[in-house]
Amino acid sequence: MKTTNAPTAAPTDSPANAPHPAPQPVDIARILSGFDEPWAPRRIARVNDYEVKAAKLRGAFVWHAHEDTDELFLVVSGTLTIRLRDGDADGGAADTEVVLGPGQLYVVPRGVEHCPVADEEVSILLFEPTGTVNTGTAGGDRTREPVDA
């Protein structure tokens, strides 16, 4: 009997009845050790209409929102602060912070303006629908299309 330790991680656009490649585990540590550029996500797997992306973060990103989707952050190493912009009773803006360490995740709800901040290098996994723009509504020079790992 043949066994594997992980589900198929390779992207597939083949019909449902086509043969699937042999399952291969995704070595997250190896992928993360293979690049240093912050805020430049690497696509490591697809799950239905979602992409799993590995990224390294340093410094503050841009304030942005994703109007049509939630965004899941899973910290692999380091400490990530996610600043959330909340409207107060007077219509102004107040910030809330969510601090995540290794093994912790947080889902930013769709439409919520947020700004990830990493005082030191942080490695994360992101789970987002295929085609999600990393800078959401903000755009700008930090916008990056994920590359395959």
* pTM score of the predicted model: 0.78
Query: pLDDT band at residue 142, thresholds of 50, 70 and 90?
Result: confident
Contacting residues for 138 by C-beta, under 8 A, at least 6 apart: 62, 63, 64
CA–CA distance from 131 to each of 37, 80, 127, 144 (Å)?
A: 21, 24, 11, 11
What's the mean pLDDT when you consider all of the chain?
85
Rounded distance between C-alpha atoms, residue 117 and residue 83, angstroms: 7
pLDDT surpassing 70 at residue 88: no
Length of the chain: 149
Q: Is the pLDDT of residue 15 over 70?
A: no
d(CA 63, CA 79): 19
Q: Where are the beta strands (DSSP E) in 14-113?
A: 42-47, 50-60, 71-77, 80-87, 93-100, 105-108
**What pLDDT band is residue 9 in, cutting at 50, 70 and 90?**
very low
59 half-sphere exposure, CB direction, 13 A CA radius: 6
- Biggest alpha carbon–alpha carbon distance for the chain: 65
Contacts of 55 (CB under 8 A, 6+ apart): 38, 39, 40, 41, 42, 123, 124, 125, 126
